[in-house]
Amino acid sequence: MADWTVEDLPDCAGRTVVVTGANSGIGLAATRALAGAGAHVVMACRSVDDAEAEREAIREEYPAASLTVEELDLADLESVRAFAGRLDDPVDVLCNNAGVMAIPRRETEDGFETQFGVNHLGHFALTGLLFDRLRAAPNPRVVTQSSGAHAAGEIDFDDLHGEDDYGKWDAYARSKLANLLFAYELDRRYDAVTSVGCHPGYAATNLQYRGPEAEGSRVRLAVMKLINAVVAQSAEDGALPMLYAATADDLDGGEFVGPDGLLQMRGPPAEQQSSDRSYDEETAGRLWRVSEEATGVEFP
């Protein structure tokens, strides 16, 4: 996969790809590339108006692009169930991409700590609810977006939702570790579905701004904008690991794909090793059971 770019994206005609968080950042960049390669992309977004505006912009670039906008709020399991219920056709690829990062402690509609609830539990439930649609496709794949921050994460089953001790970065790292534990466990449990983890490195998106905006910190917001401008790669480059994970023929499942450049923050996609904790099968199995209980979603 040396120097793999969007130009190496294979023909995706006839394939349906669901991308969560498709209206901005990495999700939008991936959506544009997949639509340009011929895929039918379901843009699963909390903000339908923003997604529809971006859909029209993509169609200006690719007039033949096939795009559907569907409302999906990962912070509300009722919304997740409703979204899954509206999809009738086989799903070839599910890109679990949307997320929140380093925000003050809040709770989802279902009482979960928001970062853990959106980044992990929402996507866990979505994958389970779409599982039959995935298995109806010839070679289904699930791609789950993690982060290099997963390496600092720990799964504390006694305080998963930070009710006793909450740190915004600790909670983010925990949710990103959970993403990989889920991705690997999914691949171990089901031969019929290829499950791959990925991370974007450091890409300039609105994700970095949500924490400072939620805290009302203009100073932190200004600092993040400066760092994004100086250090980060583009959202288009940040989307490459997810695009590779979603389409490459040489992935068997259970891989972790990220940028192959400086400190794994930028560069072309490459297969990498994640943290030792992410491969802990006992933790992964327990997290799976806890996630089923929390969401009420059981996999077939």
Strand order in the sheet with 93-96: 66-71, 40-45, 16-20, 93-96, 141-145, 194-198, 256-259, 269-271
Condensed to tens digits (0 to 9), the pLDDT of residues 260-269 reads 987 778 899 9
Look at residue 86 and give its three-state secondary structure: coil
What span, in angstroms and rounded, lies between the C-alpha atoms of 243 and 269? 9
Four-way CATH pick for 8-201+238-293: 3.30.70.930, 3.80.30.20, 3.40.50.720, 3.30.1490.20: 3.40.50.720
- How far is the C-alpha of 4 from the C-alpha of 200, rounded, in Å? 14
From the candidates 62, 166, 172, 202, which is the catalytic residue? 172
Neighbours of 100 (CB within 10 A): 21
Type and span of the H or E element at 180 = helix 168-189
The tens digit of pLDDT for each residue in 46-97 reads 999 999 999 999 999 999 999 999 999 999 999 999 999 999 999 999 999 9
Residues 6+ away with beta carbon under 8 Å from 22: 28, 30, 31, 41, 43, 44, 45, 51, 54, 97
| DSSP assigned state of 84 | H
* pLDDT tens digit sequence for 79-88: 999 999 999 9
Does residue 279 carry a catalytic annotation? Answer: no
The model scores a pTM over 0.75: yes
